[in-house]
Amino acid sequence: MSIVDWVVLFGTVLGIVFYGVWVGKRNNNLNTYIRGGDDLKWGTIGLSVMATQASAITFLSTPGQGYEEGLAFVQNYLGLPIALVIICLFFIPLYYKLNVSTAYELLGQRFDQKTRLLGAGLFLVQRGFAAGITIYAPAIIVSTLFGWGLNTTILVTGILVILYTVSGGTRTVSLTQKYQMLVIIVGMTIAFGYIIAGLPDDISLGDAFYLAGIQGRMEAISFSLNPEERYTIWTGLLGGTFLALSYFGTDQSQVQRYLAGRSSVASRLGLMFNAVFKIPMQFAILLLGALLFVFYQFAGSPVFFNEAALDGIPEERLEQIEAEYAAGQQTRIPLLREILIEKAESGEPSADTLGYLVGVNAELEKQRVAVQEEIKRVNASADTEDADYVFLSFVLDNLPVGLVGLLVAVIFLAAMSSTASELNALASTTMVDGYRALIKRDESETHYVWIARGLTLFWGILAIGFAMTLTLFDNLIEAVNIIGSLFYGAILGLFLIAFFIRWVKGSAAFWGGVIAEILVLALFFSEIDIGYLWFNMIGCVITVIFSIVFQQVFFGGLKEAK
Amino acid sequence: MSDSNDQIPWRMIYSGVLVWLVAVIVFMYIFSKVYS
């Protein structure tokens, strides 16, 4: 990166951090620190909820997903608007009515202390784990591409987040997220424009979409009932609704964002903002990836985007693979133009030309497999996936000086905004549902604010420490999703009982949740092979059924409960 | 923080969001069909 890029990167990131610290230094009462002062407008809430969900890996992995597999991943978000409407109708009114600071406080008021602690405990385990990964996942990619030290990148990101999150709490997190999200939107829009401008002059945007489509990158909606197909409209509407209901309705890192509204109107409008714009945003990022796929077909891509992983492969062998890959790509360019000419002349390209393209793509894939085998030969535990590196490689090689710094800042800001929400929520839950509920009930506001600050620092240091040891594990993103699915189900089950099955009381709900969690974990460690997204639904259903049965059999049933 | 007795037509907003979801799905489906 040039000096100008460094100035833009540091200027943007430090600007946000200083703004956060400046806003936060006045936050000395508990309401402002935990609930954000209850005066944020709906626009701030909308952007803050969006920034919390969109971590750095969203802006690295999602274009990679579009590049490799096309638009189908967008279906995962189809349940999100439905879940947000349900939350506005049932969750938010009760959160406001009971005047809670954390989601789990509601469990305490509706059931009892032990059920509240169960909910809070399950949240702390899974979110504590996720916070480390939110810092680690982008750090490994950025440090590899730029040749920075991994631990230095993790430390810098972590310390910057801690600086303003510790000082200002919820209000600062939400206000900084507003600007972080605006910078992210501007940065991604510019990148999108550069990809389109980077296409050859004779290739229109429609041509690029068409070329992406005939190579399987444009199928956004699938009505297939085949259970082996990962993303379909059915899994999106069913599984997606469940996942979004758990995440937005019961995860304190999100609940804390919208409870900071000046009224339930602001909270609900903030969520409706996400219900409207989230799917188009994900669609646009995936489309950016699909366009990158076409861009690199004309501009020529490296055989493997993570070039650092190629170290150690015998030079002669690597040169041979790269030469064959480059030659294959040169053969493909006239073929792509031929396809467009045939389409213009007769409506669609001939089967021969399409067959030839399939053959050339298969030959190119062989070269990629060859290089992946070489990487494995040098280092058996090396990662042979390079999709996460596609977008930043494009930025680094194709954007002008200054904009490279801005786009790297986008990745850092996205990492910081998600981490800030997580640390803020972890500290608030530990303070409100643990320290204040169990250890010291009647201390001054200043005392609790300082305890919350200390806990934010504690969780921040834990997340950094965890991120620094993560190199020991493989498949991090999948790991965080699995952990989430293992714990979300029981938590959502407890909340659904709280809202909709009013005759089930605390003890029945608590034991229902405990049994469900044990069964989900037993199922996970058993020989039975179940897709991890299903654990969410299984945990929720078991919690509800067992709680009803326990209430009926052991705790006096419907009559007693009344 | 007040759960204000607002005059906002929530039922219309929620219905609008769900209609928007259907419209987005239809758009993406047609987009896929045109370019596949």
Pick the more confident residue, A482 or A496.
A496
Report the C-alpha gap between A395 and A386 in whole angstroms. 15
Report the C-alpha gap between A107 and A118 in whole angstroms. 9
- Locus of tokens 């802006």: A59
B8, with CB counted inside 10 A (0-12, 13-18, 19+), is exposed
Q: Does residue A413 register a pLDDT over 80?
A: yes
Report the C-alpha gap between A403 and A5 in whole angstroms. 7
Interface test with B, best of A35, A85, A97 (most B CBs within 10 A): A85
In 3D space, the residue among A444, A304, A463, A314 whose CA is nearest the CA of residue A386 turns out to be: A304
**A528 in helix, strand or coil?**
coil
Per-residue pLDDT band for A559 (boundaries 50, 70, 90) equals low
Q: Does residue A91 register a pLDDT over 60?
A: yes
pLDDT at A484: 81
Task: Name the token pair of A268.
Answer: 């609900």
Decide if B35 and A218 are in contact by the 8 Å CB cutoff: yes
Report the C-alpha gap between A94 and A105 in whole angstroms. 11
Per-residue pLDDT band for A443 (boundaries 50, 70, 90) equals confident
Are the CB atoms for A36 and A267 separated by under 8 Å? Answer: no
User: How many beta-carbon contacts under 8 Å exist across A and B?
Assistant: 75
Separation of CA A503 from chain center: 36
Find the residue in B nearest to A74 (Cα): B28
Report the C-alpha gap between A233 and A236 in whole angstroms. 5
For residues A134-153, give the mean pLDDT: 83
Find the residue in A nearest to B20 (Cα): A276
DSSP state letters, A260-288: TBSBHHHHHHHHHHHHHHHHHHHHHHHHH
Q: Does residue A255 register a pLDDT over 80?
A: yes
**A100 in helix, strand or coil?**
coil
Phi/psi of residue B2, nearest 5 degrees = -125, 135
Q: Does residue A68 register a pLDDT over 50?
A: yes
Find the residue in B nearest to A278 (Cα): B21
Contacts of A298 (CB under 8 A, 6+ apart): A199, A200, A203, A333, A336
Task: Name the token pair of A550.
Answer: 């326990």
B10, with CB counted inside 10 A (0-12, 13-18, 19+), is middle
In 3D space, the residue among A38, A35, A77 whose CA is nearest the CA of residue A54 turns out to be: A77
Interface test with A, best of B21, B26, B30, B33 (most A CBs within 10 A): B21
Report the C-alpha gap between A155 and A135 in whole angstroms. 9
pLDDT at B14: 94
Bridge partners of A32? none
Q: Mind listing the pLDDT tens digit for each residue in B1-36?
A: 444 557 889 999 999 999 999 999 999 999 998 887
Bridge partners of A263? B2
A234 touches chain B (CB under 8 A): no
| CB-closest option in B3, B14, B17 to A264 | B3
- The H or E element that residue A19 is part of is helix A3-24
A268 touches chain B (CB under 8 A): yes
Report the C-alpha gap between A212 and A210 in whole angstroms. 5
Q: Does residue A472 register a pLDDT over 70?
A: no
Phi/psi of residue A228, nearest 5 degrees = -80, -15
Dihedral sign of CA atoms A476, A481, A486, A492 in order: positive
Are the CB atoms for A233 and A222 separated by under 8 Å? Answer: yes
pTM for the predicted model, two decimal places = 0.89
Report the C-alpha gap between A488 and A497 in whole angstroms. 14
Which residues of chain A neighbour B14 with C-beta distances below 8 Å?
Answer: 85, 88-89
Overall residue count recorded for chain A in this entry:
562
Phi/psi of residue A349, nearest 5 degrees = -70, 155
Decide if A264 and B25 are in contact by the 8 Å CB cutoff: no
pLDDT at B2: 44
Separation of CA A47 from chain center: 15
| CB-closest option in B4, B20, B36 to A263 | B4
Find the residue in B nearest to A259 (Cα): B1
Q: Mind listing the pLDDT tens digit for each residue in A506-531?
A: 899 999 999 999 999 999 888 777 77
Report the C-alpha gap between A267 and A249 in whole angstroms. 12
B-contacting residues in A 311-330 (Cβ below 8 Å): none
**A482 in helix, strand or coil?**
helix
pLDDT at A123: 92
Chain A nearest CA to B11, separation (Å): 10
B-contacting residues in A 211-230 (Cβ below 8 Å): 212-214, 218-221
Report the C-alpha gap between A428 and A430 in whole angstroms. 6
Find the residue in B nearest to A208 (Cα): B35
| CB-closest option in B14, B20, B31 to A220 | B31
Which residues of chain A neighbour B3 with C-beta distances below 8 Å?
Answer: 93, 96-97, 263-264
Which residues of chain A neighbour B27 with C-beta distances below 8 Å?
Answer: none
User: Residues A418-455, buried b or exposed e (16+ Cβ, 10 A)?
Assistant: bbbbbbbbbbbbbbbbbbbbeeeeeeeeeebbebbbeb
Name the percent of chain A in helix, strand, coil, to the closest 5.
80, 0, 20
Decide if A220 and B29 are in contact by the 8 Å CB cutoff: yes
Decide if B21 and A272 are in contact by the 8 Å CB cutoff: no
A89 touches chain B (CB under 8 A): yes
Decide if B28 and A220 are in contact by the 8 Å CB cutoff: yes
Q: Does residue A231 register a pLDDT over 60?
A: yes
Chain B nearest CA to A209, separation (Å): 6
Q: Does residue A449 register a pLDDT over 90?
A: no
Are the CB atoms for A537 and A489 separated by under 8 Å? Answer: yes
pLDDT at A84: 96
Report the C-alpha gap between A514 and A21 in whole angstroms. 41
Decide if B32 and A221 are in contact by the 8 Å CB cutoff: yes
A93 touches chain B (CB under 8 A): yes
Are the CB atoms for A284 and A59 separated by under 8 Å? Answer: no
Decide if A280 and B8 are in contact by the 8 Å CB cutoff: no
Per-residue pLDDT band for A475 (boundaries 50, 70, 90) equals low
Q: How many CB atoms lie within 10 A of CB A386?
A: 23
Q: What DSSP character marks residue A227?
A: T
Decide if B31 and A97 are in contact by the 8 Å CB cutoff: no
| CB-closest option in B1, B18, B24 to A263 | B1
Are the CB atoms for A64 and A391 separated by under 8 Å? Answer: yes
Decide if A88 and B36 are in contact by the 8 Å CB cutoff: no
Find the residue in B nearest to A279 (Cα): B24
Decide if A263 and B3 are in contact by the 8 Å CB cutoff: yes
Angstrom CA distances, A305 to A87, A165, A301, A393, stand at 41, 35, 8, 7
| CB-closest option in B13, B24, B28 to A272 | B13
For residues A110-117, give the mean pLDDT: 91
Q: Does residue A27 register a pLDDT over 80?
A: no
A376 touches chain B (CB under 8 A): no
